[in-house]
Amino acid sequence: MTRAGLALLWLLHWLPYPLLGRLGAGLGALLWHVAPRRRRIALRNLELCFPDWSAQRRRDVARAHFGFVGRALLDRALLWWGSPQRLRRVLHVDGPIDAALHGDGAVLLLGLHFEGMDAAWTALTLAAQRPLSGMYTPQKSPDLDRWVLDGRSRFNTERIVSRHEGAGGMLRALRRKTPFYTLPDMDFGARHSRFVPFFGVPAATLDVVPRLAASAHARVFPVVARMLPGYRGYAVTVYPAWENYPTLRDGHLADIDADLLRLNRFIEARVDEMPEQYHWVHKRFKTRPPGASSLY
């Protein structure tokens, strides 16, 4: 079944991108109806993060979000099989790219879970003139796992580190001065996390970004991908390196909660710009503070 699905995706990658995008939006519309559990999760996340919105507005945003989920799924066919020439026509990168990818010292590329996260990685590796490294979560299906790993290793990639390796694999890459792309903004459980407000709700937030940045003396460049209207591809923005991040005193972390709050505030600002494109189908508030009841 997995191989048949991958074969279909391979065939779809030959389609003109606007047609592929429309098919993806159609797939998302179908998923809205046939994936009730994910629909409920998305609506609950939006209710928690935007309690002042009307129920109809939350439903409209959630429904639009599923269109972007479907597009992101089919777009991976192009990202992971399309030629570099085609990809450069749909991946539009701006910001301090040279400083982020080719400057001196360690660099942490702070990816975020917008639906364009894989487009951002592909765009960065296409633009890079030296190998980058990144993170991936192993898949249960061997065929799917190989597809994901191969897809994320296409261009200028030194290594894709399994999430099971933890921060150690990331730190080794940073100490080799290999720019590292990580996505820390999901709920990965209480271990190595601290409860920091996200849209006013305590959220288990990985402390990996400030700890890695401090250990490797790395500059942190946020990276955000936005799906463009009219099926014109992606705008991938590399933001300037954060100044005075993380907060240090005598070379040691001084206020990790403030560092994580700064991270979450940055994500909130980007979500406010395009709420339909954040990854709402994940249980962002699954892990709760001790004694707190479940929100789902």
Task: Report yes or no on 286 lying in a domain.
Answer: no
Rounded Cα distance between 153 and 155, Å, is 6
Task: Report yes or no on 287 lying in a domain.
Answer: no
Residue 210 · residue 259 · CB < 8 Å: yes
Determine the 3-state secondary structure of 181 from DSSP: strand
Q: Which domain holds residue 246?
A: 2-277
**Per-residue model confidence as pLDDT tens digits over 205-260:** 999 999 999 999 999 999 999 999 999 999 999 999 999 999 999 888 999 999 99
Task: Report yes or no on 288 lying in a domain.
Answer: no
Record the tokens describing residue 56, joined without a space. 């109809």
pTM over 0.85: yes
Rounded Cα distance between 278 and 270, Å, is 9
Residue 238 main-chain phi, psi, to 5 deg: -95, 115
Task: Report yes or no on 172 lying in a domain.
Answer: yes
Listing DSSP states for 129-148 in one string gives: SS-EEEEEPPPSSHHHHHHH
Task: Report yes or no on 293 lying in a domain.
Answer: no
**What pLDDT, on the 0 to 100 scale, is given for residue 1?**
61
**What pLDDT, on the 0 to 100 scale, is given for residue 206?**
94
Rounded Cα distance between 201 and 186, Å, is 14
Number of domains making up the chain: 1
Task: Report yes or no on 294 lying in a domain.
Answer: no
In the predicted model, residues of the chain with pLDDT beneath 70 are 1
Q: Which residues contact 8 (CB under 8 A, 6 or more apart)?
A: none
Q: Which residues contact 34 (CB under 8 A, 6 or more apart)?
A: none
Kindly state the percentage of the chain with pLDDT values over 70: 100
**What pLDDT, on the 0 to 100 scale, is given for residue 121?**
97
Task: Report yes or no on 282 lying in a domain.
Answer: no
Task: Report yes or no on 21 lying in a domain.
Answer: yes
Residue 178 main-chain phi, psi, to 5 deg: -90, 120
